Amino acid sequence: MVRRIRVLDDSTVRKIAAGEAVESPASVVKELLENSLDARAKNIAVRLDGGGIGRIMVSDDGCGMSREDAEVAFLRHSTSKLSSIEDLSTIGTLGFRGEALASISAISSVEMVTRERGSVESGGTRIILSFGRIAVLEEVGCPEGTTITVSDLFANVPARKKFLKSVQTERSRCMDVVSRAMLSRPDVGFRAYVDDQLRFESPPCTDLRDRAAAVLGPKVARALLELPDRSYGSVRVTGLISLPWESRSTSAGITVSVRGRVVRNRNIVDALRRGYGSRLMKGRYPLVVMDLVPPSECLDVNVHPAKELVKFSEERAVLLAVETAVSDIVFSRKAAFPKQEGTVEEGAADRIERPPPPPAMVKVISSGPGQSELPVALREMERTRSEFDEVPSMEGPESLPPALPEDASAHPLRIIGQLDRSYILCELGSDLLMVDQHAAHERVRLEELKKRYITGKVSTQELLDPVHIELDQTSIDNLGVMGSALKELGFLFEDFGPSSIVVRGLPRFMGRMEGHEVIRDLLSGVEVHEGCSPPDPSFMPELPLKEKIIALTACRGAIKAHHGLSLREMEDLIRTLLECEVPLHCAHGRPTMIRLPQSILERWFRRVL
């Protein structure tokens, strides 16, 4: 019989293994940075050409390597960081698998120049590999430390190369890796060059705030709250966190490291947000730079080829430490908040805000000039489950008829009032029409902005007091793509140093702070305003850049939930909404209104069977 199972050749095995550890140029940068940090480097320089697709160079002044070590450094599973499986339980280095250099060299051209620190030899070693094979091994003159240059990435793996993103996207991902490494290790100096232009430079520093200023901007760094360096149980927590109102729409501003290793952990992010309690708006994320130091024996770092995920044997203790550390500072006087009722000064569990107990009195506000209170004993509200089983189930919005019937114009529409200062209740004939005021106003603004843009009537009003905005690396990259489109829509701004801009003018229909938030969110990659669910791809496919800007601008300036409206304002909003070309959905595909027919109400109240 023909054998169907075969042993793969070494070249194929190396390429498959490389795919586990090296997914993109950012993966290469991460692995090389970790090697430099493990080599106890005090200064590291990173150079990128063509977004890292063309060339990546990482230089350090670490311990370097001898010629003998350099010869075996690119073999699979060769490492100086452990000698047996028992060492994994107390591993103190970032790397340990011995696969990074072998994986990188299997799918690229690599040059390494290294000299061992304190070596009596007059020179160092230069080794060049072409897709896993040594082409040059020679002695050269060089300083102590190591410089590794990677080029032609994925040239021999076209199936992997075609999945790379644009140069701008890959460059942004690489710089994100560098930024997070800088924040996790302020004791190491960093320089970063992009296409021969200096992007970052920060000497070694003892204060994390100084490093945050270099990466996030001085203004942002000054506003961060410092977590006291202390232990919560067996876990030490240090770092900086933002005030609740300095939040972001994504978790991209959160950098968490565990013993200096930058990691991704959804549960830690959730614990951070719980620490803020109700002071952090739903759907928003704080700006965080945090390092956790649990006992090394409680940490398992060998769960992901790229070492980005970790497991904790006592995860609950780690999460409680994070939550308590955040709540301690957010609810303290340092945060410049008034004292919150119901918070307790000691005890982690008591610091987390809980909903108040149910009131023993239900207030009924009458439609007349006065208001009355109807006492309702709680015991009267306690029914057995069998009694409530008889109540008919409520239909969901998807089972309700269209919000506007075909003969809607034939029915009078009367505004009844406002529910929770968020929903406008209307009587449409004999039906109940419920309108989401934010979604409705967003749709109105969206169509107004589109008309102005199409007709060229978008004008700019100059600001008497320009707005200064500090940018992170992602925002700087996005500015190069979005800059011209923003200016066409009425934004007037100019560079103010390498990592900030000054906004001197905004579209005439936009307020000062609203324009500030639109620019900041757009450049940071945010497309959805808080309170709005992500766009429905089936309703709103990928939009051109200018339409995305218009959509976010419409959302930012729209009336928010929990904003009281007068009867005249509600009438104007409903009238303009009904005049829109697409009145039933906002820019994100959410419904602007829902109609509850009289027939369903009668069925719920058992008026009909």
User: What stretch(es) of the chain map to CATH 3.30.230.10?
Assistant: 208-334
- 3-class secondary structure, 349: helix
Of 314 and 128, which is predicted with more confidence?
128
> Between vectors from CA 56 to CA 50 and to CA 62, what angle results, nearest 5°?
155
Share of the chain above pLDDT 90, in %: 33
Average of pLDDT values for 600-606? Answer: 83
Of 425 and 20, which is predicted with more confidence?
425
Q: Which long-range contacts (CB under 8 A, 24 or more apart) does 351-354 make?
A: 351/324, 351/327, 352/274, 352/275, 352/277, 352/323, 352/327, 353/277, 353/278
pLDDT at 22: 82
Average of pLDDT values for 569-586? Answer: 88
pLDDT at 395: 52
Q: Taking 90 as the threshold, does the pLDDT of residue 530 lie above it?
A: no
pLDDT at 351: 37
pLDDT at 511: 66
Q: Taking 80 as the threshold, does the pLDDT of residue 467 lie above it?
A: yes
Query: What's the pLDDT tens digit per position in 52-61?
Result: 999 999 999 9
What's the CATH fold of domain 208-334? Answer: Ribosomal Protein S5; domain 2 (3.30.230)
DSSP per-residue string spanning 540-569: S-PPPHHHHHHHHHHHHTSPPTT----HHH
Of 132 and 113, which is predicted with more confidence?
113
The burial of 83, by beta-carbon neighbours within 10 Å (0-12 exposed, 13-18 middle, 19 or more buried), is given as: exposed
Average of pLDDT values for 560-584? Answer: 90
How many Å is the Cα radius of gyration of the chain?
Answer: 30
Of 352 and 228, which is predicted with more confidence?
228
pLDDT at 183: 96
Of 365 and 199, which is predicted with more confidence?
199
Average of pLDDT values for 404-409? Answer: 64
Closest to 174 in 3D by CA, of 28, 369, 386 = 28
When pLDDT is cut at 50, 70 and 90, the band that residue 382 belongs to is very low
pLDDT at 418: 94
Summary mean pLDDT of the chain: 78
> Between vectors from CA 588 to CA 584 and to CA 594, what angle results, nearest 5°?
30
Closest to 438 in 3D by CA, of 276, 557, 295 = 557
User: 27-36, 124-133, 478-487, 518-527: which range is least confident on average?
Assistant: 518-527
When pLDDT is cut at 50, 70 and 90, the band that residue 21 belongs to is low
pLDDT at 7: 62
- Return the C-alpha torsion angle 266, 269, 273, 275, nearest 10: 110
pLDDT at 545: 66
User: What stretch(es) of the chain map to CATH 3.30.1370.100?
Assistant: 436-594
pLDDT at 235: 92
User: What stretch(es) of the chain map to CATH 3.30.565.10?
Assistant: 10-202
**Architecture of the domain made up of 10-202:** 2-Layer Sandwich (3.30)
Q: Taking 80 as the threshold, does the pLDDT of residue 309 lie above it?
A: no
Q: Taking 60 as the threshold, does the pLDDT of residue 558 lie above it?
A: yes
pLDDT at 86: 54
Average of pLDDT values for 210-231? Answer: 91
User: 44-48, 302-306, 395-399: which range is least confident on average?
Assistant: 395-399
pLDDT at 393: 47
What's the CATH fold of domain 436-594? Answer: Ribosomal Protein S8; Chain: A, domain 1 (3.30.1370)
Query: What's the pLDDT tens digit per position in 329-350?
Result: 887 755 543 333 333 333 433 4
User: 129 forms bridges with which residues in the sheet?
Assistant: 110, 134
Average of pLDDT values for 236-250? Answer: 88
pLDDT at 25: 94
Average of pLDDT values for 309-320? Answer: 85
pLDDT at 584: 84
Question: From the centroid of its chain, how far is CA 142?
Answer: 41
Question: From the centroid of its chain, how far is CA 125?
Answer: 42
What is the pTM (predicted TM-score) of this model? 0.63
Average of pLDDT values for 556-560? Answer: 82
Q: Taking 70 as the threshold, does the pLDDT of residue 366 lie above it?
A: no
